[in-house]
Each structure stands twice: as C-alpha cells, then as structure tokens.
Amino acid sequence: MPLSDRTRALLHLLLWCGVFLTVAGLLQIVQPGWFDSDTSYHLAVGRLIRQHGILHGFPWTPFSVMADRYADTELLLHLTLAGLDIVVPAHAVGVAGTVLGALLLLTMMLLVGCLGYTVLLSQPLLARVRSRPRLFSEQAVAALNQAVPRDAQVFTCDWQLTGDMLLALPERRFMVALDPMLFYRKDRSRFESWQQLVRQGPKQPARIIQDRFGARFVLCEDNPAFFAFMRALRADPMAVLRLRAPPLTLFEIAPQKSGADANEKPTERQ
C-alpha cells in the first residue's frame, strides 16, 4: 500500500530530526571542553534558579547592573539546564547542547551547508575548542572553596572567567559577568577605579580594594596586562598570597593593623 503524502512528509521530518540530533550529538562528543566561559555562566545560572527560583536580581555580581535589574534573556536555556543538572549533572551541558543544537539545525534546514562549513572552514575553531584547558583542577577547586568563605566578595582582574569562577566557587560574589559594560553602566566611577587598579598597579592596592569594593579576596589570572597589579599586591603588607593554581592566583586582604602589629607583613602561604 503506497504511503500518503502526509505520511511521507512526516517520515522525512523524522529522518531529518534524527540526522540533526546525530550531528549535534557528535559535535558535543568531539569537543571535550566548553567553548568559552559563557557556557559556565549559563550552567551556573541554571543551578542558581534550581536553588533560588526564578531570578529577579543577580547579587553574585554586585557591581553589575544585573545585581538590581536582572532580565533573563535566556530563561528557556537556563530552565533546561536547571532540569538536566538534576537528572544528568555531569552531562547537562552536553544534553542541552545536543537538543538545542538539533532544533537549530532543523530550523535552518541547511545540513549540507553546515557540514561543508564544518569540514572546510571550522578546523581551527575545533582545534581551539579541543585545546581549551580546564581552568580549575579538582584540587584547585577544593583549595579555593576552603580558602574563600561563602558570601565573600572576590575582586577579579577581568570579566571573561566569571562563569568559570561562579561554577568553581558557588555562592561567592564577583565583579561582573558577560560584559564589562554592565559594570560601567551601573557605577562608572568604581568601574574606572577597577580598570585603573588592574591596568596600572598603583602602590598598596589592598586598601583601595578593601575600602572601594568591599572585597576580602583577589582572584586574578596570569596575564601580562595584570603583572604590574600582581607585583603591587605582592609588595603590599596588607595582601597575603593564599594560593597559586596556574593560571590563577588568590590573595587575601588582611584587616588593617594598628600599633606595633602595623609593621608586620603577613606570612605568605602557598
């Protein structure tokens, strides 16, 4: 009995769905790491929604406009990740990427173009994805969680790794995520102070970090742009080196001392 046009159309649609799911799944398999820190941020937000419900503010980056006026433009993605993180916590990103990637491919209906682009043009990109290192080893995560208490404000030198930091150090507060303009728009004066600190490295920056940003810890990546700032911290008697986990360094800002103790430099600890 010949199939009707509707049945053939449905079978073709199901076939394409299977093809797109396979392609999206293979793309997830061939890249052992995530493409960038934005993925870490989205997974972290999914976990925060699971713990706190729908977010109307984002207090984990208090110097960003998102702290008070948070509009979740990727709510569907975050709800998907929140659910998958319960069922398959180790593979939530991969499963979400597979399903959403298949939907995207199905919508575009350009399988040949996508495969051609992947084969001919995206080899450098795939090589970059495969070579992105894990920023936090299990040992570093354990040490950071032991050194930095929950609800602590952490001063960071940049914004690009905030997603990774949110995952490694849940319930801590950082400078800004996704885009530094979110910090600039909320508090231009403090944003400019932040940039001046990390770019110029003035003498004794610990007091400024403590008074201006309310931060007790500094977590900074090894970047030549921040070397002057790192040297200034090492020379500052109020700053204590707590942990070296390349490419990251953790300092603790010691409370101000008075009297005879003011001349004593805290002991550095690896």
Same domain, 109 and 146: no
Burial class (CB in 10 A: 0-12, 13-18, 19+), 150: exposed
Q: Pick the residue with more confidence: 246 or 177? A: 177
Check residue 113 and give its pLDDT.
61
Note the pLDDT of residue 252: 92
Helix (H, G, I), strand (E, B) or coil at 140: helix
CB–CB of 136/144 below 8 Å?
yes
Alpha-carbon distance of 246 to 136, in angstroms, equals 9
* 269 within domain boundaries: no
Instruction: Tell me, yes or no, whether 54 lies in a domain.
Output: yes
Confidence of residue 33 (pLDDT cuts 50, 70, 90): low
Range of the domain at 71: 5-131
Angle among Cα 215, 218, 221 to the nearest 5 degrees reads 150
Last residue of a domain, one of 109, 131, 153: 131
109 and 26 housed in the same domain: yes
Give the confidence band of 153 by pLDDT, cuts at 50, 70, 90: very high
Tokens of 115: 């495969």
3-state SS, residue 266: coil
Average pLDDT over residues 263-269: 42
Domain assignment present for residue 160? The answer is: yes
Residue 148 sits in the same domain as residue 63 = no
Question: In the listed set 131, 161, 179, which residue is the last one of a domain according to the structure?
Answer: 131
Same domain, 40 and 149: no
Stretch (H or E) spanning 241: strand 239-245
Residues 218, 117: one domain?
no
Per-residue confidence at 250, pLDDT binned at 50, 70, 90? Answer: very high
> What is the pLDDT, as a whole number, of residue 266?
40
Q: Which of 10-24, 25-39, 93-107 has the lowest mean pLDDT?
A: 25-39
Question: Are 164 and 37 a contacting pair, CB within 8 Å?
Answer: yes
**Is 268 inside a domain boundary?**
no
pTM of the predicted model, to two decimals? 0.62
The residue ranking higher by pLDDT, 265 or 193, is 193
Structure tokens at 245: 């986990």
Q: What is the predicted pLDDT for the residue at 267?
A: 40
104 and 61 in a single domain? The answer is yes
219: left (phi > 0), else alpha (psi -120 to 50), else beta?
beta
Residue 30 lies in a domain: yes
CB-based contacts of 153, cutoff 8 Å, min separation 6: 62, 172, 173, 213, 214, 215, 216, 217
My answer on whether 151 and 174 are in the same domain is: yes
Whether residue 183 sits in one domain with residue 227: yes
Considering only residues 103 and 186, tell me which one the structure prediction assigns the higher pLDDT.
186
Report yes or no on 146 lying in a domain: yes
Omega before 149 cis (within 30°)? no
Residue 240 has pLDDT above 70, yes or no: yes
Q: Give the tens place of pLDDT for each residue, 56-86.
A: 999 999 999 888 888 888 888 888 888 877 7
On the question of pLDDT at 13 being above 80, the answer is no
Same domain, yes or no, for 149 and 125? Answer: no
The domain boundary residue, chosen from 131, 161, 178: 131
Q: Is 15 found in the same domain as 119?
A: yes
Domain assignment present for 270: no
Same domain, 149 and 257: yes
Q: Do 98 and 142 fall within a single domain? A: no
Q: How many domains does the chain have?
A: 2
What CATH number is given to the structural domain containing 221?
A: 3.40.50
